[in-house]
């Protein structure tokens, strides 16, 4: 069965690691957010692509969520002693090898799509990983600091450098309007029997993908076969900062709020929610969505496989 998945970083990685316990990874194409990509120390860093790669390869740090297991940060510690620009971003020593390899490939003329495929292949990842686009697209956060000054921040400056302490006024995806989907991405959505929207941050991870012309229409054309997993459980994000960003788009921080956010754009036919959100089911069904409930907390691969099985069943139940 051909499957396409639309993904951010850590939540998506955990979920996809579960998915490949129950389907052949060779059937899977993952379209990944690159709005968080950043140049640090002259290197092209793609946090969400790397998170998905590491989770699928079984080398992710399960506690931290991002980066590699058994990681050290000696190079970053040295860079901090140098007071190097960008050294607030904690690049692990093993992770550094990925960025060096990617940057070299791209300097030699490879596009991000080709570099991503090469990295995935080196990690033994059998799923096809695609960046959302080969064009530069950057997620910028318009914020106000405690002194009342306005800030225009790269997403990683907002999240990592400043610890999400600023008041967010809006999020923009610079470059998205003139970008094109990576080769093969729209075709993967068009030909999949099931399309899964991973439990990722709707504003920071999924919206950048939807901002690239073509993706929203491709999903809408297959909406009955698109099932999403709520990243919000009991009114709080599974992890990350969705609770801070959703209100900026006028979205209620609940499984029903995020369902409405996607359904209002005609993007999904099914929505998986956590058992603790049972009371929200009538509201979600009133949006015209099929729902299924399970324990969506992905404590291990087995739990993630259970969530993936439910999402897959919901997508396939959407018919042709």
95 binds ligand FO1 (CB under 6 A): yes
27 binds ligand FO1 (CB under 6 A): no
297 vs 116: CA distance, rounded Å = 29
Q: Among residues 27, 48, 157, 274, which is the contact residue for ligand FO1, using CB under 6 A?
A: 48
Site for ligand FO1 in 147-166 (CB under 6 A): 156, 159-160
274 binds ligand FO1 (CB under 6 A): no
29 vs 34, beta carbon nearer ligand FO1? 34
Q: Which stretch binds ligand FO1 (CB under 6 A): 2-10, 125-133, 185-193, 304-312?
A: 2-10
Q: Which stretch binds ligand FO1 (CB under 6 A): 42-50, 184-192, 254-262, 293-301?
A: 42-50
- Please tell me what DSSP assigns to residue 249: G
Q: For residue 155, give Cα distances in angstroms to 142, 160, 279.
A: 10, 8, 34
116 vs 291, beta carbon nearer ligand FO1? 116
Site for ligand FO1 in 200-219 (CB under 6 A): 205
89 binds ligand FO1 (CB under 6 A): yes
223 vs 204: CA distance, rounded Å = 21
In contact, 287 and 263? CB cutoff 8 Å: yes
With a CB cutoff of 8 Å and minimum separation 6, the contacts of 12 are 5, 30, 32, 48, 51, 52, 55, 198, 199, 200, 205
Q: Among residues 15, 16, 20, 50, which is the contact residue for ligand FO1, using CB under 6 A?
A: 50
8 binds ligand FO1 (CB under 6 A): yes
Q: For residue 50, give Cα distances in angstroms to 26, 195, 216, 220.
A: 19, 21, 24, 28
CB of 313 to ligand FO1, least distance (A): 27
66 vs 9: CA distance, rounded Å = 8
In contact, 14 and 5? CB cutoff 8 Å: no
134 binds ligand FO1 (CB under 6 A): no
65 vs 9: CA distance, rounded Å = 9
Q: Which residues bind ligand FO1 (CB under 6 A)?
A: 8-10, 36, 45, 47-48, 50, 66-67, 89-91, 95, 156, 159-160, 205
């Amino acid at each position: 069965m051909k499957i396409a998945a639309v993904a951010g970083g850590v939540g998506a990685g955990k979920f996809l690691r579960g998915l490949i316990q129950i389907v052949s990874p060779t059937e899977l194409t993952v379209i990944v957010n690159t709005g968080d990509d950043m140049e640090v120390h002259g290197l092209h860093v793609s946090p969400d692509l790397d998170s998905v790669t590491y989770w699928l390869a079984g080398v992710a740090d399960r506690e931290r969520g991002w980066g590699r297991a058994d990681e050290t940060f000696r190079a970053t510690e040295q860079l901090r002693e140098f007071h190097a620009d960008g050294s607030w971003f904690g690049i692990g020593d093993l992770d550094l090898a990925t960025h060096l390899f990617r940057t070299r490939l791209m300097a030699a003329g490879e596009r991000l799509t080709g570099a991503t495929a090469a990295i995935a292949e080196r990690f033994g990842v059998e799923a096809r990983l695609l960046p959302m686009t080969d064009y530069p697209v950057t997620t910028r956060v318009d914020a106000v600091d405690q002194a009342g000054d306005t800030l225009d921040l790269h997403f990683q400056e907002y999240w990592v450098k400043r610890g999400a302490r600023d008041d967010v006024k809006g999020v923009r995806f610079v470059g998205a309007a003139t970008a094109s989907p990576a080769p093969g991405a729209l075709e993967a959505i068009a030909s999949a029997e099931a399309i899964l929207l991973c439990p990722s941050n709707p504003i920071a991870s999924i919206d950048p993908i939807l901002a690239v012309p073509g993706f929203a229409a491709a999903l809408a054309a297959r909406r009955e076969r698109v099932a999403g997993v709520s990243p919000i459980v009991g009114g709080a994000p599974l992890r990350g900062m969705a609770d801070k960003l959703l209100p900026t788009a006028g979205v209620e921080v609940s499984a029903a709020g995020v369902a409405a956010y996607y359904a209002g754009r005609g993007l999904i036919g099914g929505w998986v929610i956590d058992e603790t959100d049972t009371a929200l089911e009538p509201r979600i069904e009133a949006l015209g969505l099929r729902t299924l409930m399970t324990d969506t907390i992905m404590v291990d691969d087995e739990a993630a496989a259970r969530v993936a099985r439910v999402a897959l069943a919901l997508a396939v139940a959407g018919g042709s």
